Amino acid sequence: MVVSIKRTMAAKTERTFIAIKPDGVQRGLMGEILKRFEQKGFRLVALKFLQASEDLLKQHYIDLKDRPFYPGLVKYMSSGPVAAMVWEGLNVVKTGRVMLGETNPADSKPGTIRGDFCIEVGRNIIHGSDSVDSANKEISLWFKPEELVSYKSCAQDWIYE
């Protein structure tokens, strides 16, 4: 006897924080990046286009504060607008990191965002949460709870079993 168990997407879904950095915005890559996440089947639940303050960025990158590149990173990230997003889906944190490619674009495979569009670490166009815990922390830092939209995509049944 074969028993079919229908997975419930809600039980396995997670959210991740993705930010298109000033170089990605300036190079006109926002649409391409959103397109890749949408085509993969992830659902956009929040989007903000803003000039991030140094205070926000210092909080966001607090775990890097003792690194020599920290001051330059904060200055760079506050130098232009960023697109802050929250994406939702099954294994979105892990899959999102794979889609981004390695932090160093030289180590990124073709087909990844950094592999296709970046050359140097200091201009790697995108940030993605590295764990579910980091994602939750980053989402709460950049978005108020009421800014997160909850909805069922009409494509959901075509993406998930």
* CATH at 104: 3.30.70.141
Quick check: 23 pLDDT over 60?
yes
Instruction: Quickly tell me which residue has 């397109």 as its tokens.
Output: 35
17 annotated among ligand-binding-site residues: no
If one counts the domains in the chain, the total is 1
- DSSP class of residue 64 equals G
Residue 13 pairs in a beta bridge with 90
Q: Is residue 140 part of a domain?
A: yes
97 annotated among ligand-binding-site residues: yes
How much of the chain exceeds pLDDT 90, in percent?
Answer: 90
pLDDT at 6: 46
Q: Taking all residues of the chain, what is their mean pLDDT, rounded to a whole number?
A: 93
117 annotated among ligand-binding-site residues: no
How far apart CA 77 and CA 98 sit, in angstroms, is 22
Q: Is residue 29 part of a domain?
A: yes
Q: Which amino acid is at 45?
A: V
pLDDT at 1: 47
Q: Which domain holds residue 49?
A: 13-147
> How many CA atoms does the CB half-sphere of 35 hold within 13 Å?
7
pLDDT at 11: 55
- CA angle 157–158–161, rounded 5-degree value: 60
- Output 94-100 pairs: Cβ under 8 A, ≥24 positions apart: 95/40, 95/42, 96/16, 96/18, 96/37, 96/42, 96/128, 96/129, 97/128, 97/129, 97/130, 99/36, 99/37, 99/40, 99/128, 100/126, 100/128
36 annotated among ligand-binding-site residues: no
Active site amino acids:
127
Q: Which amino acid is at 88?
A: E
Q: Is residue 73 part of a domain?
A: yes
Beta strands in 13-111 (DSSP E): 13-20, 43-50, 82-90
Q: How much is the average pLDDT of 73-93?
A: 97
Q: Is residue 58 part of a domain?
A: yes
The pTM (predicted TM-score) of the whole model is 0.91
